[in-house]
Structure 1
Amino acid sequence: MSRVCSIRGSRVRVGGKIHRSGLAKKKGGIGRHVTKVNKRTVSPNLHVKRIYVPELGRYVKLKLSAKAIKTINKNGAFSVLKKAGLI
């Protein structure tokens, strides 16, 4: 199953983690040097939630990011789902 938020479309991002070696000059070394850049993935904070929509009178099961859950709490389930095109 894909790691994508149903509301916001947040997905796994790929970036780089800089690997440094050496001792800092402040600590008596000759300085820090970048030796390589490692690939890493940053996953969204996803949760599978059952949300009750009173306008429809039923539950809807969605995969949501934490930010999308906050948006639903603030604006209401029906309006957010309608704007996202899920209803």
Structure 2
Amino acid sequence: MAQVCSITGKRNVSGRRIHRSGLAKKKGGVGRHVTKVTKRTFQPNLQNKRIWVPELGRFVRVRISAKAIKTISKNGAYATLKKAGLI
């Protein structure tokens, strides 16, 4: 299963991790230097949730991010899920 939020569409994003060596100039060294750059991925904070939708009178299972949970709390379950095309 892909790491994608059902509501916001958040997904994995690639980036880089930088490794630096040396002592900072202000601490008496010759300065910090980048010695290696490696790839990494930033993953969304996804949760599997059962959300109660009063208008439908049933639970809906969704895989959503923490931000989407806050959006549902603010705008309501039915409106948010309908806008996302899940119901």
TM-score for both structures, normalised by structure 2: 0.96
RMSD over aligned Cα, in angstroms? 0.7
**Residue 57 (structure 2) aligns with:** 57
2:62 partner letter: L
**Residue 35 (structure 1) aligns with:** 35
The alignment covers a number of residue pairs equal to 87
Classify the secondary structure of the residue corresponding to 1:79: helix
Q: Distance between the aligned counterparts of 1:6 and 1:14, measured in 2?
A: 20
Asked if residue 45 in structure 1 is aligned to residue 45 in structure 2, the reply is: yes
**Residue 68 (structure 1) aligns with:** 68
- Displacement of 1:55 in angstroms is 0.8
Q: 4+ residue stretches of structure 1 with deviation over 2 A?
A: none
Q: Which runs of 5+ in 2 are unaligned?
A: none
TM-score for both structures, normalised by structure 1: 0.96
Deviations 1:10-62 (A, max 9, x none): 00111001111111111111100111211111110110000011111110000
